[in-house]
Amino acid sequence: MLSAALRRTSERIDRQTPAHRDRAVDGLRALALLAVPTGHWLLGGFTLDSGGALHNASPLSAFGALAPASWVLQMLGIFFLVGGYASALSYRRRPGSAGAWLKGRIVRLGRPVLAVTAVWALAAPLLYAAGVPEASLRTAATLVVQPLWFVGVYVVVTALTPYCVRAARRLGGWAAAPLIASVAVVDVLRYGPLAQSVPSWLPVLNILPGWLFAYQLGVSWGERRIGRRGAWLLLAGGTLLFAALLAVFHYPASMVGVPGAVRTNSHPPSLLVLALAAAQSGAAVLLRDRLARLLERPALWAPVVVVNLSAMTILCWHQTAMLAAVVPASFAGAVAGLTTAPDSLGWIAARLAWMPVFAALLVGIARYARRFEAPPAAGRPASALRRTVAGLLAVGFGLFALGLA
């Protein structure tokens, strides 16, 4: 009965999909989206202090051999690539002005972020009154806000779409070359012989070019300026650069931050992140046709549609889903895979067992949170008062998460 219902639903979704829909690009976006909660759930752990408060920890601190898992799960390069591709097509087909186009995209990104931060701003005092320690709430707030930096960066690079399109039309795939060169220069300064004399804010200069790199590649791809030859160059060049940075220049192997580590690749992005993004982008372009054929099967296409329709919900609420299991468990003390230190093989096995629970909690939360991702109903825009209150709550929660309140 259940399998038959799922099959009928999949077939209905398949029939309703417009013929012009690029299934491969949607499939790549879905993979990149699902990699975010998977990575955070697998590579993020907690410890309990003597007062029962939760603190962040990571199995990467004890198991350096797990670092290659972060190479697979760090798919933000793919996300920005697909974002650039989709933005190039959308910008080309926009019915109105560039300003109206950008405003629509910002509103679509901003509403779910505003919702999750406002909800947490209301929930935090209630949780504190229920006995959750302030340290646990600060840990939770940091985890909730942590993935949202991406939205701010994505808004900025989206605003640069008109310039990216012009650069792509003039230079093709090579339009991204100055961006990777800029990151390389900053890395040489911050890690080279002059590292002690450069200002501490210098790495911040890598944030924009570091994440704009894959977006620019996506825009060039959307403008049909990257073909198979360029894709092979990206794949081979990115792979060789990635290997050289690890083996010769001793970059940290993990693509995500490790508690206590002196250097990190992701905040802000190092040259290693761009090398991985280049290799991933080349592979994506090369595999596009094969992936499109694979997604012609309704049973595979339907989940891709669901994930894409819930993109911001997944991004904004996946940490909340994990915390919905971890915070109650902290009152019980040491619960394997949730509140015990992530420093043993037993923890890894227990965390893998908890993954379906996190996923189920996210699905349950999404049933209610998904409304924030959908545009307001026609004729029923949010009131100015509601927007103002939500904004103030979001700002307050952000300050709390950053330790400023």
Domain boundaries of the chain, sorted by first residue:
22-401
Rounded Cα distance between 228 and 133, Å, is 55
Query: What pLDDT does residue 379 have?
Result: 46
In this model, does residue 392 exceed pLDDT 90? no
In this model, does residue 285 exceed pLDDT 80? yes
Q: From 115, 126, 103, select the one nearest 391 (Cα to Cα).
A: 115
Q: Do residues 118 and 394 touch, judged by C-beta distance below 8 A?
A: yes
Rounded Cα distance between 294 and 248, Å, is 39
Rounded Cα distance between 190 and 184, Å, is 10
Higher pLDDT, 24 or 377: 24
| pTM for the whole structure | 0.92
287: exposed, middle or buried (C-beta count within 10 Å: 0-12, 13-18, 19+)?
Answer: middle
Rounded Cα distance between 29 and 81, Å, is 9
Amino acid at 42: L
pLDDT tens, residue by residue, 168-215: 999 999 999 999 999 999 999 999 888 888 898 999 999 999 999 999
- Tokens 């200002």 locate to 199
Report residue 28's pLDDT band, with 50, 70 and 90 as the boundaries. very high
Structure tokens at 10: 């999949």
> Which residues are within 8 A (CB) of 274 and not within 5 positions of it... i.e. 6 or more apart?
77, 179, 180, 183, 210, 213, 214
Query: What pLDDT does residue 194 have?
Result: 81
Rounded Cα distance between 221 and 216, Å, is 8
pLDDT tens, residue by residue, 246-280: 999 999 999 987 777 778 898 889 999 999 999 99
Structure tokens at 299: 């049973």
Average pLDDT over residues 293-314: 94
Query: What pLDDT does residue 375 have?
Result: 66
In this model, does residue 95 exceed pLDDT 90? no
Amino acid at 262: V
Structure tokens at 248: 């010769």
Higher pLDDT, 144 or 383: 144
Q: From 153, 32, 124, select the one nearest 81 (Cα to Cα).
A: 32
Q: Do residues 231 and 286 touch, judged by C-beta distance below 8 A?
A: yes
Q: Do residues 331 and 131 touch, judged by C-beta distance below 8 A?
A: yes
